């Protein structure tokens, strides 16, 4: 029994309670608060990394209150941890550490609650990754959600932040209740809440309506959190208004945790019953590709830099889901590496945007054009991170995407490569366009969209703008994260290790044995074999192609009006997307309508294809 497994959740919770209890003492002593939050999240990160390495030989289980399964029936709650879940949780802890360091100088005033909420948010994310009990999964999901809603509204004096928080809270709550309904339905069948036990009880039977319904309801909440089209609308609203250090967590890990939830639930509970049906691949691949394309298009036409990055997150979420949808170990491993690489560079990008906001007081690309020249180092970090986001080798992102594509090609889905590369070019092009325009003053400022100018006008009060220097506590986390995204690719045997972890993640029988009998058995019975993981020419070409394509696109966008073709009346991106834009109405009633319609359609497809 490894006590670390419990402590990674309990320590941040206890620290959150402690700083609230000592509120009157700490209120005037902000540095103590900052230090407490940084030290706690860093300690959690270290513990989780230790757990990740310890679980490489085999998954670890922890039975709370010591209630081990009796006769292979779980009576307590367990944490069942493998390298993938521990790795994702440690990614969350690392990003929380980075953003609390960043906050050291970022907020002029910050209360006790900011730090307490960051810590409960971290505890929720960690518990969500580690738990092996499906209702416990819901509890941590809600803790994570409620902390995130409160953090989104952390600057309630602004209209946008309230609207964003309301849309976020209502859509995600509806999703969580659907998830809970699914949990209740599956409990009604199996009389169990332990995921391994449910998987064992369901496996071997033909999937009937109840299994399909429970599966879809449970994952609906996670798909909403994972911002998969058509459940993605809340994300841009929330990201645009949440304080920038919080956006780092939203984009970097929270969305990815939703997709982790889908993968966890599928592989530990439903894989045996639903089979590795072509329908599962078909449904998730469709969702993933659709999300990738929609996110990339929206991203490219956006001028509000935080929203631009938010849409790029949606696009990437689609790519991660694509990796999962292949159901192969390499696809999952690719998605995992992609998540890690993306989280590091995306966090760095958001931190750079925070610096811009701190120094210049705006996130409007048009207004900022050329004004960021003085921020030299920030510009360099932003550009590097943008290239990383565009999958430039040797950033880890190119490996993740390359493996996803390779695995897709091995299943005869070559066209995935084309879609992913095109989307990467669009997303990378948009972010590089911002880099070139804002930090180097290249080309012309994009034409002003009046409506948007109004939207981004309310962006000043989260930090005292107009500072002359960039504090080291802001630029160092951004730099370190970018370098980490770079260094990750040089991890020895990265591919082999992650793929081995992915094989174990997909091995339902092995997971059952570990959890319910406490024995480690290794018999990869996954329907798809492990594949070669080295760095191939195709990986490098696809990554470099995306980055170069992104650079070219960025230059075209910046110098568009000086090009001789089609100069008048056509801004790249806008005409293409204007009709779709109506969907992103900002009205939560609409968002819920799309969620209901989306669930009904998905349900219909699943009902007719799995039986």
Instruction: Give, as ranges, the residues between 112 and 151 that touch other proteins (CB under 8 A).
Output: 113-114, 116-117, 120, 123-124, 127, 135-136, 139-140, 142-143, 146-147, 149-150
C-alpha span between 506 and 509 (Å, rounded): 9
Write the DSSP assignment of 44-90 as a string of letters.
HHHHHHHHHHHTSSS-EEEEGGG---BTTB--S-EEEE-HHHHHHHH
Per CB under 8 A, contacts with other proteins among 23-42 are 23-24
Q: Which is nearer to other proteins, 523 or 582 (CB)?
A: 582
Instruction: Name the residue among 341, 337, 351, 402 with its Cα closest to residue 543.
Output: 402
Residue with smaller CB distance to other proteins, 418 or 587: 587
Candidate list 1, 39, 278, 538; residue touching other proteins; CB under 8 A: 1
Report residue 25 as tokens. 């003492």
What are the DSSP E strand ranges found in 362-414?
none
Backbone angles phi, psi at 586, to 5 degrees: 80, -5
36-61 burial code (b ≥16 CB/10 A, e <16): bbbebbbbbbbbbbebbebbeebbbb
Q: Which of 262, 10, 278, 304 is nearest to 143 (CA)?
A: 10
Residues in Cβ contact with 146 at an 8 Å cutoff, skipping those fewer than 6 apart? none
Q: Look at phi and psi of residue 589 and say left if phi exceeds 0, alpha if psi is from -120 to 50, else beta.
A: alpha
Contact string (CB under 8 A) for other proteins, positions 39-78, x = contact: -----------------------xxxxxx--x--xxxxx-
How many CA atoms lie less than 13 Å away from 589 in the CB half-sphere? Answer: 0
Q: Exactly one of 450, 492, 519, 589 binds other proteins (CB under 8 A); which one?
A: 589
110 binds other proteins (CB under 8 A): no
* Interface of this chain with other proteins, residues 298 to 317, rule: CB under 8 A: 307
Answer for which of 216, 229, 319, 489 binds other proteins (CB under 8 A) is: 216
Which of 184, 472, 521, 552 binds other proteins (CB under 8 A)? It is 184
Q: Rounded to the nearest whole angstrom, what is the least distance from the CB of residue 273 to other proteins in the complex?
A: 12
Q: What residues pair up with 80 in beta bridges, in sequence order?
A: 61
Q: Shortest gap between Cβ of 391 and other proteins (angstroms)?
A: 27
- Which residue, 211 or 513, is less far from other proteins as judged by CB? 211
**Cβ proximity to other proteins, 289 vs 602, nearer residue:** 602
Residue 588 interacting with other proteins (CB under 8 A): yes
Alpha-carbon distance 232 to 598, whole Å?
Answer: 11
- Shortest distance, CB of residue 555 to other proteins, whole angstroms? 25
191, 466, 518, 575: which one binds other proteins (CB under 8 A): 191
* Preceding amide of 230 cis, omega within 30: yes
227 binds other proteins (CB under 8 A): no
Q: Choose, by CB under 8 A, the member of 43, 54, 111, 467 that binds other proteins.
A: 111
Residue 602: CB minimum distance to other proteins, A: 9
**Is-contact 246 152, C-beta < 8 A?**
yes
Nearer to other proteins among residue 23 and residue 536 (C-beta): 23
212 binds other proteins (CB under 8 A): yes
Q: How far is the CB of 437 from other proteins (least distance, A)?
A: 20
Structure tokens at 525: 């019975």
Of 285-293, 368-376, 468-476, 603-611, which segment contacts other proteins by CB under 8 A?
Answer: 603-611
- Contacting other proteins within 353-382 (CB under 8 A): none
The CB density around residue 604, as the number of other CB atoms within 10 Å, is: 10
173 binds other proteins (CB under 8 A): yes
Q: Which of 210, 374, 418, 538 binds other proteins (CB under 8 A)?
A: 210
Nearer to other proteins, 181 or 530 (CB): 181
State which of positions 74-103 bind other proteins (CB under 8 A): 74-77
Calculate helix-pair angle for 112-130, 4-21, nearest 10 degrees: 160
Collapsed DSSP state (helix, strand, coil) of residue 29: coil
Q: What is the CB neighbour count within 10 angstroms for residue 112?
A: 19
Residue 333 in contact with other proteins, rule: CB under 8 A? no
Q: How far is the CB of 185 from other proteins (least distance, A)?
A: 6
Q: Is 571 in the site for other proteins (CB under 8 A)?
A: no
Q: How far is CA 141 from CA 61, 131, 134, 478, in A?
A: 20, 11, 10, 28
Options 190-198, 418-426, 534-542, 564-572: segment touching other proteins (CB under 8 A): 190-198
Q: Is 576 in the site for other proteins (CB under 8 A)?
A: no
Nearer Cβ to other proteins (278/597): 597
Residue number with CB closer to other proteins (70 or 565): 70
Distance of alpha carbon 426 from alpha carbon 267, whole angstroms: 32
Type and span of the H or E element at 396:
helix 396-410
Return the number of the residue (91 or 143) whose C-beta is nearest other proteins.
Answer: 143
Sole residue written with tokens 């293409």: 576
In the complex, minimum distance from the CB of residue 43 to other proteins, in angstroms, rounded to a whole number: 15
Among 455, 462, 507, 539, binds other proteins (CB under 8 A): 455
What SS3 class is residue 365?
helix
Distance between CA atoms of residues 346 and 163, nearest Å: 24
Q: How many residues at the interface with other proteins, by CB under 8 A?
A: 114
Q: Does 522 bind other proteins (CB under 8 A)?
A: no
Which residue from 551, 244, 239 is spatially nearest to 389, judged by alpha carbons? 551
């Amino acid at each position: 029994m490894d006590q670390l497994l419990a402590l990674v959740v309990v320590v941040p919770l206890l620290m959150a309670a402690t700083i609230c209890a000592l509120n009157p003492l700490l209120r005037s002593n902000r540095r103590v608060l900052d230090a407490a939050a940084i030290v706690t999240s860093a300690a959690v990160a270290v513990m989780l990394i230790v757990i990740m390495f310890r679980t490489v030989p085999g998954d670890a289980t922890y039975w709370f209150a010591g209630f081990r399964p009796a006769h292979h029936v779980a009576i307590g709650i367990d944490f069942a941890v493998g390298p993938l879940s521990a790795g994702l949780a440690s990614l969350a802890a690392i990003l929380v550490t980075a953003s609390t360091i960043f906050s050291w100088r970022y907020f002029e005033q910050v209360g006790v609650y900011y730090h307490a909420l960051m810590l409960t948010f971290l505890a929720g994310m960690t518990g969500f990754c580690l738990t092996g009990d499906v209702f416990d999964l819901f509890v941590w999901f809600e803790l994570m959600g409620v902390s995130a809603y409160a953090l989104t509204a952390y600057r309630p004096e602004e209209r946008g932040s309230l609207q964003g928080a309301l849309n976020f809270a209502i859509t995600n709550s509806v999703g969580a209740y659907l998830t809970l309904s699914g949990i209740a339905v599956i409990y009604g069948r199996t009389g169990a809440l332990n995921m391994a036990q449910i998987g064992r009880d369901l496996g071997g039977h033909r999937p009937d309506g109840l299994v399909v319904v429970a599966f879809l309801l449970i994952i609906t909440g996670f798909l909403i959190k994972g911002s998969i089209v058509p459940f993605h609308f809340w994300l841009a609203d929330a990201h645009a208004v949440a304080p920038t250090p919080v956006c780092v967590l939203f984009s970097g890990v929270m969305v990815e945790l939703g997709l982790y939830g889908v993968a966890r639930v599928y592989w530990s509970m439903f894989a045996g019953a639903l089979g590795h049906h072509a329908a599962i691949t078909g449904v998730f691949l469709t969702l993933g590709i659709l999300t990738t394309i929609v996110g990339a298009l929206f991203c490219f036409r956006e001028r509000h830099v935080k929203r631009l990055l938010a849409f790029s997150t949606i696009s990437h979420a689609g790519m991660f889901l694509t990796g999962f949808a292949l159901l192969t170990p390499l696809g999952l491993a690719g998605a995992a590496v992609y998540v890690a690489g993306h989280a590091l560079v995306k966090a760095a990008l958001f931190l750079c945007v925070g610096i811009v906001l701190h120094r210049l007081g705006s996130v409007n690309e048009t207004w900022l054009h050329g004004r960021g020249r003085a921020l030299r180092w920030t510009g360099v970090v932003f550009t590097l991170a943008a290239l990383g986001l565009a999958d430039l080798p040797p950033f880890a992102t190119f490996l993740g995407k390359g493996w996803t594509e390779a695995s897709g090609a091995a299943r005869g889905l070559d066209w995935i490569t084309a879609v992913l590369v095109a989307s990467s070019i669009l997303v990378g092009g948009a972010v590089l366009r911002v880099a070139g325009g804002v930090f180097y003053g290249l080309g012309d400022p994009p034409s002003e969209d009046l409506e948007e100018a109004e939207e981004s006008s309310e962006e000043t009060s989260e930090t005292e703008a107009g500072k002359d220097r960039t504090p080291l506590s802001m630029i160092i986390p951004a730099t370190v994260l970018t370098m980490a995204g770079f260094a990750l690719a040089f991890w020895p045997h990265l591919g082999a290790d992650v793929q081995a972890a992915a094989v174990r993640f997909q091995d339902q029988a092995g997971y059952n044995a570990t959890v319910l009998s406490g024995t480690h058995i290794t018999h990869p019975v996954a329907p798809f074999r492990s594949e070669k993981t080295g760095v191939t020419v195709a990986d490098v070409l696809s990554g470099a192609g995306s980055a170069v394509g992104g650079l070219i696109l960025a230059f075209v966008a910046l110098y568009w009006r000086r090009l001789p073709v089609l100069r008048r009346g056509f801004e790249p991106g806008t005409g293409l997307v204007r009709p779709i834009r109506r969907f992103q109405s900002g009205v939560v009633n609409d968002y819920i309508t799309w969620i209901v319609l989306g669930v009904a359609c998905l349900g219909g497809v699943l009902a007719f294809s799995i039986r």
